[in-house]
A and B are shown apart, each in its own frame.
Chain A
Amino acid sequence: MLPPISPSVDLSRGQFALTLIFHILWPVFTIGLSSFLVAIEALWLKTGDEDYYRHARFWAKLLLLNFGVGVATGLPLEFEFGTNWAPFSRFAGNFFGNILGFEGAMAFMLEAGFLGIMMFGWRRVAPAIHMFATCMVALGASMSALWIMSANSWMQTPAGGHVANGHFVVDNYIQAIFNPSAPWSITHMWVACLETSLFVIGGLSAWYIYRNRHRAFFLRSFKVVVVAAIVITPVQIFLGDGSGGVVFEYQPAKGAAIEGHWITNPPGEPAAWSLLAWPDQAKQKNDWSLEIPYGLSLLATHSLTGQVKGLRDFPRKDQPPLLPLIYYAFRLMAGIGFFFFGLMIWTVWRWWRRGLTPDNAGRNKWLWRLWIGAIPLGYIAVEAGWTVREVGRQPWVIYGIMRTEHGASMLPASTVAGTMIVFGIIYAILLVTFLYFARRILLEGPDVTMEAPPRRGGGLIDTRTAWETGEGQSSEGMK
């Protein structure tokens, strides 16, 4: 017995999209930056170079600002499943709710439980304990990516259970958690967080270098970024390719929509890849397209004549909507991934040619300009990728099992429209305020004379209270 269709289903979708699109901006940077800070703090502890300590303190300011917005905007998502998607929640709770619970217990609490020590505890705990706290924040942040991607992947490629009495009942947790899409999606998203953050940190460092402020200081963070990018950028291209393979295998309609592929190629014949096209749902074909022979078979199946299902094999009602959006969002994401790879190669070459010394750094203006321009690109790629993933899953909320319109709560359209407007206004305020304060922090720049605490000594906790040390509790961070 199917639940009735709610009059506000499209508004609930709109509100969920709005809150997700806005929220994902923040954890991306929290995950990447906290991992970067683990590396920076470890470098400080290993080398004793105080500049690394100053880097840790400087970037932590941005982390804290970013984290506040991330926490604030993440909370609504935990509850919107129930408020706006009650039938979905009842159906999927056995698995989906369970995994969100794991995320809370293993990821968010870990992050929150150590964030205070990481941010304000520099002189209250021993350096080794502080390092541990930083690691726990980064681990907690990364674990949240693991669980949320597992849950979302299950909506893409549900596995590991059966439906009974209107509920999905789990038979095999390993199969459900590591459903076909999960391994690729978890790694693809986690690496996307690292990559986006690397190009933000690298871009901001480039901005200081370009303006000749603390040039030697920021060449350090820049080089850490470049070393990481040597690994991360090619790995991400590989993971993107793997994620695509899973889509073509398990969600062929989405795969065909991504590539504007309408007609299944006959056995033994290649499918061409359209580099650029305009997919037209009404005509059930591309208005025009620029094609590369053999391309799609090669991309989707890694063979010259592999068969790729076309969109016309699916009834109209089972095809994803908004085809041009899916088609171009995918190209935007992939293009940015390759741009990052190219920028990395060029930078490594400049480094090889001794272009990254404080004396020579002023000469390649375009290198720095490109890095500065790359700051927002990772975010754009993440949003584009999520658009492909979620719009491409339509018309299903759980692929092949539950259609989106059957998952929405029965709510008056005016109510959902009202909350959506409030979300829109609040989030606009948050974004503007964040950018305003982040700009101020960046203009102020790092404190390059700050003294680091001793690297050794200290106990599990400072046995003196803040009162005895004469330090106010929270002005702690300044010293």
Chain B
Amino acid sequence: MNDVHHFLADIWFGLIGVLLILYVVLDGFDLGVGILSLGARDDNERGIMMACLGSVWDANETWLVLLGGALFGAFPDVYAIALHALYIPIMATLFGLVFRAVAFEFRENSRRKRMWNIAFGAGSLLAAIAQGFALGAIISGIPVGPHGFTGGVFDWFSPFSLLVAVGVVFGYMLLGATYLIVKTIGDTQSRFFHQAAFAAWLTVVVGIGVSLWTPLKFDYVRAKWFGENLYAIGTLPLCAAISFGVLLYSLRRRHEYAPFAWSILIFLFSFIGLATSLYPSIIPPDVTVYSAASSGKTLVFMLTGIGMLIPVMLIYNAYQYLVFRGKVTTGGYGH
């Protein structure tokens, strides 16, 4: 592998990171809204919560489709090994997302909405939990042989991955609640201010737990964090802590947009921390950015076909958000 190929593999590691964080933040707030809907006060409120997602959830979920395709093309070994090893959490995510997706339209058409309320809420919760387990399992490492994954079908389950799953659920709830603050008014909005503060504390407590446990449990993380880059990596938790402080302040002052923005920043800093801890591994301990990358020709071709389109996709997605900006006051999904 030459320098150019190295460089291309690094670029794609970065782009996969961009796609992942776009998915996690955008569908994260969708799933968070879904989880929160399980505790909605009444059906009207639940209707408003779903209407807040009506025009955007589908595009948000599509970042996952794009992430899957881009990972498959740029790092086929990572795609194959991770999905094979995480068979059960991935399938659970898919089942959850299937129910979440059809719930919008089916609930709208249905006269007995209860079943689809549950499909929406439970589907979102299942997807969030399963994604958390998958993340925890990847951090924990996946054993690999010459023909790919060599472990068992339940390897993804551990106390550590359970804690990560709990953290992901709380984090998504935080994103969902702060998004709902942006989109609602009055009593409803007021409830989401409380829920956001609650979710923020839970997220941070679990986040600290994960951050302490990770270097204690995994040598590769400890070596990375407490090596020569201590100060550079140390700024990330500092930034996250500041974001948390400002988030709490903005919630107390009832700012409408700031809480969502600061919640996203908390995710962003945590995510960069994760990426730097892993790099140059993608799946510890054996699969690295360089061992898993496609040929240089494929990476260049994908860069022109996908990389260049990312800004265009962002623009028309932003346009759709702009068209549907403003507060939601009634439930329903477009009929």
B295: CB under 8 A from chain A? yes
In the complex, chain B residues whose CB is within 8 Å of the CB of A112: 58-59, 61-62
Compute how far the CA of A467 lies from the CA of B182 in the bound complex, rounded to whole angstroms: 13
Select which of A83, A95, A106, A440 is within 8 A of B305 by beta carbon: A106
Q: Which candidate, B85-93, B247-255, B257-265, B278-286, is the interface stretch facing chain A? A: B85-93
CB-CB nearest in chain B for A69: B102
A82-B79, A119-B334 known; A461 vs B323 contact (CB < 8 Å): yes
In the complex, chain B residues whose CB is within 8 Å of the CB of A169: 295, 297-298
B147: CB under 8 A from chain A? yes
CB-CB nearest in chain A for B309: A105
User: Are A72 and B98 in contact, CB atoms less than 8 angstroms apart?
Assistant: yes
Compute how far the CA of A87 lies from the CA of B77 in the bound complex, rounded to whole angstroms: 9
State how many residues of chain A have any CB contact under 8 Å with chain B.
Answer: 87
In the complex, chain B residues whose CB is within 8 Å of the CB of A98: 72-74, 294, 298, 301-302, 305
Q: Which candidate, A38-46, A301-309, A409-417, is the interface stretch facing chain B? A: A409-417
A116: CB under 8 A from chain B? yes
User: Are B73 and A72 in contact, CB atoms less than 8 angstroms apart?
Assistant: no
Instruction: For the complex formed, measure the closest distance between the CB of A188 and the CB atoms of chain B, giving whole angstroms.
Output: 24
User: Are A101 and B69 in contact, CB atoms less than 8 angstroms apart?
Assistant: yes
Instruction: For the complex formed, measure the closest distance between the CB of B256 and the CB atoms of chain A, giving whole angstroms.
Output: 12
Instruction: For the complex formed, measure the closest distance between the CB of A415 and the CB atoms of chain B, giving whole angstroms.
Output: 5
A120: CB under 8 A from chain B? yes
Instruction: For the complex formed, measure the closest distance between the CB of B320 and the CB atoms of chain A, giving whole angstroms.
Output: 5
CB-CB nearest in chain B for A419: B91
User: Are A104 and B68 in contact, CB atoms less than 8 angstroms apart?
Assistant: yes
User: Are B335 and A61 in contact, CB atoms less than 8 angstroms apart?
Assistant: yes
A71-B61, A409-B87, A433-B106 known; A108 vs B66 contact (CB < 8 Å): yes
State how many residues of chain B have any CB contact under 8 Å with chain A.
Answer: 82
Of residues 82 to 118 in A, which have CB atoms within 8 Å of B's CB atoms? 82-84, 86-87, 89-106, 108-110, 112-117
User: Are A465 and B54 in contact, CB atoms less than 8 angstroms apart?
Assistant: no
A79: CB under 8 A from chain B? yes
Compute how far the CA of A200 lies from the CA of B267 in the bound complex, rounded to whole angstroms: 46
A68-B101, A98-B302, A124-B324 known; A1 vs B146 contact (CB < 8 Å): yes
A-B residue pair count with CB separations less than 8 angstroms: 295
Instruction: For the complex formed, measure the closest distance between the CB of A175 and the CB atoms of chain B, giving whole angstroms.
Output: 13
User: Are A467 and B329 in contact, CB atoms less than 8 angstroms apart?
Assistant: yes
B244: CB under 8 A from chain A? no
Instruction: For the complex formed, measure the closest distance between the CB of B164 and the CB atoms of chain A, giving whole angstroms.
Output: 20
Compute how far the CA of A93 lies from the CA of B84 in the bound complex, rounded to whole angstroms: 14
Compute how far the CA of A30 lies from the CA of B298 in the bound complex, rounded to whole angstroms: 31
In the complex, chain B residues whose CB is within 8 Å of the CB of A461: 319, 322-323
A100-B69, A112-B58 known; A472 vs B76 contact (CB < 8 Å): no
CB-CB nearest in chain A for B71: A97
User: Are A90 and B294 in contact, CB atoms less than 8 angstroms apart?
Assistant: no
A14: CB under 8 A from chain B? no
A448: CB under 8 A from chain B? no
| Contacts from B to A (Cβ < 8 Å) | 51-52, 54-56, 58-59, 61-77, 79-84, 86-88, 90-91, 94-95, 97-99, 101-102, 104-106, 109-110, 146-149, 153, 185, 294-295, 297-298, 301-302, 305-306, 309-310, 313, 316-317, 319-320, 322-335
17 more A-B residue pairs beyond the given contacts A84-B87, A105-B69, A409-B84, with a C-beta to C-beta distance below 8 A: A64-B105, A68-B105, A71-B61, A72-B98, A79-B68, A86-B80, A86-B148, A90-B77, A97-B72, A98-B302, A99-B73, A116-B54, A117-B323, A173-B301, A415-B87, A461-B319, A474-B55
Please name 8 pairs of A and B residues whose Cβ atoms are closer than 8 Å in the assembled complex, sorted by A: A75-B101, A81-B72, A93-B294, A105-B306, A114-B320, A415-B88, A465-B325, A478-B335
| Contacts from A to B (Cβ < 8 Å) | 1, 3-4, 61, 64-65, 67-69, 71-76, 78-79, 81-84, 86-87, 89-106, 108-110, 112-117, 119-121, 124-125, 136, 167, 169-171, 173, 409-412, 415, 419, 422, 426, 430, 433, 437, 440-441, 461-462, 465-468, 472-478
